[in-house]
Every structure is written in structure tokens, then in C-alpha cells.
Amino acid sequence: MKSHRLMMSVALMSLSAIAFAQSDAQKSSEVPVPSPAQKSFATMKTLAGEWEGTVTVPDAPQMSGAKMHLSLRVTSRGNALVHEFQEAGTPLDATKYDHPVTMLYLDGDQLTLIHYCDAGNRPRMTGKMSQDGKTVEFEFADISGNAAYHMHHAVFTIIDADHHTEDWTFMMKDKAIHAHFDLKRAQ
């Protein structure tokens, strides 16, 4: 009788081990569904490359029409996207020219943007992708440094693989200045 109980215990333990092993195998074969933030970040990374275009600033017409160069580079083993604007034809000389750098990355389950501004501050924004998957909009979250002058809002709209626009809002105290960049992939 004892041997019968022992055999029954061994058989039950074996069955439960097989069931757990099958459950684990099934879990590992399932493809994880990316979160909305992961989808947004993957979309933003498709913009990696060199871009050229013009800026339109309705509130400052003297700035409109400037030719711009944008470099977007995936770095840190795919965990960050570096965004760097400069006026086309200017050297990378931070003592003479404005070349703001913006970093995009996932912070947990939130797409995050930090803009390292020539105003000496670092606004942080959080982004969400539109339902159609073509627009990622960033809302102001907080700022390190002087808040009187800062980037406050950004919208990236993908037209196609070689054309996108960026709309940035800069706060000058209580006045919003909008800049629209129409960018085409450099050949």
C-alpha cells in the first residue's frame, strides 16, 4: 500500500512538473505586445538620419525661411534618440552657433523628451502617438533651470519615410512662439 501511495505521489509530481513546463514554454513563445510608449518610440526611431528643410515662425517673420539641418541618431543600444538642429551650413561650434540637443527615450512606460536648450534649461515633456500612428505629440511635464524662457510643446508628424514636420512651441515668459519645420530626408 505504501509503495502504491509513493507511486501515486511521484506520478502526480511528474504531471504537475510537465504542466508547469508546458505553461512556461507557452508563455515564452508568445510575442509580447508593445505598449503605446514603445510603439511611439519605435515610430520616432524610424526618423533616424539627416534632414534638411526650412522653418516658418509666424510670430517672428525675420526667422522664417531659414534653412535648417537636423540630425537624428539612435544611440545607447537603441535606448535613446539624439535630435540636433542647426542652421544649415553652420559648423558645430557651440560658442558661436545655436545647436540645441534633444534626447528622446523610454522612461518606464512613458515616452520622454528632454530638450537641452540654449536658454540654459532642460524642459521635460511626455509624448503620445495619435490613433493613426503618424503624429507624436509631447506635452510639457516639468523643467530644470529658468522657466521664463523654455520649450513647452512639440509635435512630430510623419508624412512619409522621407518627409516629416516638427512644430515646436517656445515660451517667452507668457508669450508662446510657434516654429514649424518642414523637413525632407537629405540624399
Cα 81 from Cα 103, distance rounded (Å): 6
Summarize pLDDT for 104-128 with one digit per residue, the tens. 999 999 999 999 998 899 999 999 9
Percent of the chain with pLDDT over 70: 83
Cα 154 from Cα 57, distance rounded (Å): 14
**What length is written for the chain?**
187
Task: Provide the b/e sequence for 137-162 (b: ≥16 CB within 10 Å).
Answer: bbebeebeeeeebbbbbbbbebeeee
- For 23, other C-beta atoms within 10 Å of its C-beta total 10
Mean pLDDT for all residues in the chain: 87
DSSP code string of 33-92: PPPHHHHHHHHHHTT-EEEEEEEE-TT-GGGTT-EEEEEEEEETTTTEEEEEEEETT--S
Break the chain into its structural domains and give their ranges: 1-30, 36-185
CA distances from 91 to 85, 86, 87, 103, 129 (A): 12, 9, 9, 21, 34
Summarize pLDDT for 2-46 with one digit per residue, the tens. 555 545 454 444 545 444 455 555 556 788 899 999 999 999 999
Q: Which CATH class is domain 36-185?
A: mainly beta
Torsion of CA 78, 82, 83, 87, to 10 degrees: -130
Q: Check: pTM over 0.85? Answer yes or no.
A: no
Residue 139: what residue type?
E
- Which residue has cell 507668457? 174
Question: CB of 115 within 8 A of CB of 100?
Answer: yes
